[in-house]
Amino acid sequence: MSNPSLLILAGDGIGPEVMTEVRRVIDWYGDKRDLKFDVSEDLVGGAAYDKHGTPLTDETMAKAQAVDAVLLGAVGGPKYDNLDFSVKPERGLLRLRKEMDLFSNLRPAQCFDALADFSSLKRDVVAGLDIVIVRELTSGIYFGEPRGIFKEGNERVGINTQRYTESEIDRVARSAFELARKRGNKVCSMEKANVMESGILWREVVQKVHDEDYPDVELSHMYADAGAMQLCRWPKQFDVIVTDNLFGDLLSDAAAMLTGSLGMLPSASLGAPMANGRPKALYEPVHGSAPDIAGQGKANPIACILSFAMALRYSFDQGDEATRLENAVEKVLADGLRTADLIGEEGVQPVSTREMGDAILAALDESL
Ligand code: NAD
Ligand code: IPM
Ligand code: MN
């Protein structure tokens, strides 16, 4: 049997910096666990635009469709701010999500004990936190038509459309209920059914999927604004949160701060099963290209490394190896290693991206 295939799209800014550390982790699994991957690399985002004039070529898109999993670093940056909207780096990522039909974006927010004091909230509120936001990723206001900037009388109007079909809500709800069954068996669905018709439909469909096929899972509904408040007030009340594309984007950035830093949060974007039974999948950190620290060796590689752990679990059926990697991360944090984004206390010297990578590899070695 051939090795499973991985396509690495490191992208822009700190993307390539954090991905270099992930490459070393992938190599470690090949050398030490005989878990070998056929790895190829390509360009996405601004890097692809610089070379090809487009943030994602058709060839790269075809490669992404053909591999077992894609690992993505980050896209975007100030250099590309004034580009035409259609070729902005972010369009490359959105095309991957849309064309691979990656409708279910799992964004876990887990607070490692060693970082509980670093969160902007009190230790009590975040210690032991372990929740997952399931963000719908291929529809909603990100993709709805009509959209654009149009002339209306003597001024312009900017339009985006929130649009959800029943089947789109149905499938992401199912993925949330399935996930909840493997965890705390609780789903909270968030929308704004008080002001949006799409929210009314969202609530109805989630409830119907629940009543028909997942009555054993505890389901609650919350308006997304109240959900944001509850996430800051007492996040441990949640297990799985399921929500739309835009609310999920906002809520997951907020959830990131519960864990200490955006540099800690991984994600998995999953679609329907392929012929080999594996889901179509793209793994990426929640954070962006961090232009303010790019090129300085300061970036925290943990979000990207934990995204690879999610790939081991969700694409390659290697849950134990994923846990090994997560434990290695937990150990280096417990040992006091901190990249600059995790420095709160005075007198602690930050380590570089590479040093954090070194320490995680050493912890992996120790786990053998
Ligand atoms: P960002 O996530 O890039 O940065 C926000 C803040 O968090 C910055 O201060 C940054 O230094 C810090 N940060 C983020 N990741 C970090 C890490 N691994 N280690 C240490 N610090 C980290 O968000 P932004 O500044 O709003 O966006 C910058 C660019 O990235 C924009 O072009 C945006 O569109 C893009 N972006 C891309 C993705 C993606 O590729 N998935 C996600 C979000 C934003
Ligand atoms: C994310 C990012 C993306 C989004 C951008 C870069 C397209 O913020 O992955 O959270 O808005 O989905
Ligand atoms: Mn975002």
Map out the domains of the chain with their CATH numbers.
1-106+263-368 (3.40.718.10), 130-258 (3.40.718.10)
Q: Give the tokens for residue 128.
A: 């032991």
Which residues have CB atoms below 5 A from the ion given as ligand 3? 249
CA distance 245 to 247: 6
The per-residue pLDDT for 260 is 82
Say if ligand 2 is within 6 A of residue 253 CB.
Answer: no
What does pLDDT average to over the chain?
96
Helix (H, G, I), strand (E, B) or coil at 184: coil
Q: How confident is the model at residue 345 (pLDDT cuts 50, 70, 90)?
A: low
Q: Report the complex ipTM.
A: 0.98
CA of 295 to the centre of ligand 1 (A): 13
Q: Is 41 annotated as a binding residue?
A: no
CA distance 138 to 42: 23
Say if ligand 2 is within 6 A of residue 87 CB.
Answer: no
Question: For residue range 181-234, what is the model confidence (pLDDT) as tens digits?
Answer: 999 999 999 999 999 999 999 999 999 999 999 999 999 999 999 999 999 999
Q: How confident is the model at residue 269 (pLDDT cuts 50, 70, 90)?
A: very high
Q: Is the pLDDT of residue 346 over 70?
A: no
Question: For residue range 41-64, what is the model confidence (pLDDT) as tens digits?
Answer: 999 999 999 999 999 999 999 999
Ligand 2 atom closest to Cα of residue 249: 10
Q: Which residues line ligand 1 (CB under 6 A)?
A: 14, 18, 74-77, 90, 93, 262-263, 284, 287-293, 299-300, 303, 341
Backbone Cα Rg of the chain: 20
Q: Give the tokens for residue 156.
A: 């312009």
235 alpha carbon, distance to own chain's centre: 19
Segment 306-320 shows an average pLDDT of: 97
Contacts of 134 (CB under 8 A, 6+ apart): 104, 105, 106, 107, 172, 175, 176, 179, 240, 241, 242, 243, 248
Question: For residue range 115-170, what is the model confidence (pLDDT) as tens digits?
Answer: 998 888 999 999 999 999 999 999 999 999 999 999 999 999 999 999 999 999 99
Q: Ligand 1: which of 83, 262, 292 to mutate, judged by most atoms within 8 Å of the beta carbon?
A: 262
CA distance 160 to 150: 11
